[in-house]
Amino acid sequence: MIHLANLDRPVLVTGCAGFIGFHLTKRLLIDGIPVFGLDNLNNYYDVSLKNARLKILQEFTSFRFQKQDLIDNDALEKLFLKERFPVVVHLAAQPGVRYSDKNPRAYLDSNLVGFFNILDVSQRFKVSHFVYASSSSVYGLSTRLPFSEHDQADHPVSLYAASKKANELLVHSYSHRFGMPSTGLRFFIAYGSWYRPDMALFKFSRAILTGEPITLHNNGKMQRDYIYIDDLVEGILALLIRPPAPNREWSGNHPDPATSSAPYRVYNIGAGHPVEMSYVLKLLEENIGKKAVVELVSMHPSEVQNTCADITDFTRDTGYQPKVPIEEGIKLFLEWFLDYDGSGRTIPTA
């Protein structure tokens, strides 16, 4: 077990100005753990939101930041040579399922080349635990619910999902070859304050306020496993201090995708309670006090119909369970969102 409070070097968090990266970094700093943050501050969504998050982090004296793209391998190596990070939490990536249909090159550069660069330099500088963001999207065409890490996940339906599955395979090869302890976190849908404007809750809330139509795919019958950001961060922290050991019972005759004879592990992090998107919209309407204009359409080819996390392993190994139900989480999200100027266009200063 790693004791973060005893580390003499900062934890590296890539993507620290992103939604999850910001919340994790802030929590580490509040707990007295120094953090070195990397982010390229790309313009996939409003950069002013990323800069506002970053401004909050920079109020902590134990936080240092460097704007950097992980494609720049030379700069990355110089940074590791100087800092010698003991733990790496790699959250930087090109997000978005549908956007991968329009701009596939961005996913190859960030999620494959950039990912390999941070993985390789982490191994060469002997980090004690490499933790990285995977995604529930890797389950793809699987309809066996709840999604279990122990089931095969080899049929992604988007390039984004394929890039995340490729990440898991790359990491396993490094854990096997070099013995580097590594944990992949298959995030389900995290939400909360300082949310991404490209995500459904943000877009739905803005559309309700402005009277713009909301498109519900699969006629609103799609189900998603939403986890409140504070719960997600607690889960990351619980796993961060527990680098995996080899599974001594692992067998190549019956290979378990979630574990390995190497120090490698993959976990789901979700609430384990999927909700229908029509119900999510209803909660937003009730809390905002205004009805939405809704257009019901068929399934999008890059989306899956239902997601639900089996969190049995996560709970067993950490003792932690998500606490915030969707009804409470929506209220907390809207408390932040409605601090905007009524349409989500003005970034609050705190």
pLDDT band at 296 (very low <50, low <70, confident <90, very high): confident
Is residue 320 in a domain?
A: yes
Q: pLDDT tens digits for 313-331?
A: 999 999 889 999 999 999 9
Residue with tokens 């049929």: 155
- Residue 237's Cβ-side half-sphere holds a number of Cα atoms within 13 Å equal to 21
Q: How far apart are CA 151 and CA 342, in angstroms?
A: 44
pLDDT higher than threshold 50 for residue 280: yes
Furthest CA-CA distance within the chain: 59
Is residue 223 in a domain?
A: yes
99 given a catalytic annotation? no
Is residue 344 in a domain?
A: no
pLDDT higher than threshold 80 for residue 4: no
Q: Centre a 10 Å sphere on the Cβ of residue 3 and count the other Cβ atoms it contains.
A: 7
The tokens describing 193, both together, are 């304050």
Given 160, 174, 195, 267, which residue is catalytic?
160
Is residue 314 in a domain?
A: yes
Q: How far apart are CA 33 and CA 12, in angstroms?
A: 11
> Environment class of residue 91 by beta-carbon count within 10 Å: exposed (0-12), middle (13-18) or buried (19+)?
buried
CATH code for the domain of 302: 3.40.50.720
pLDDT higher than threshold 90 for residue 2: no
pLDDT band at 281 (very low <50, low <70, confident <90, very high): very high
Q: How far apart are CA 33 and CA 322, in angstroms?
A: 23
pLDDT higher than threshold 50 for residue 185: yes
pTM over 0.75: yes
Q: Taking the chain, what is the end-to-end CA distance rounded to the nearest angstrom? A: 35
Is residue 181 in a domain?
A: yes
pLDDT at 150: 97
Q: Which domain holds residue 180?
A: 8-337
Is residue 101 in a domain?
A: yes
Is residue 305 in a domain?
A: yes
Q: How many domains does the chain have?
A: 1
Residues 318, 320, 322, 324, CA torsion sign: negative
Is residue 63 in a domain?
A: yes
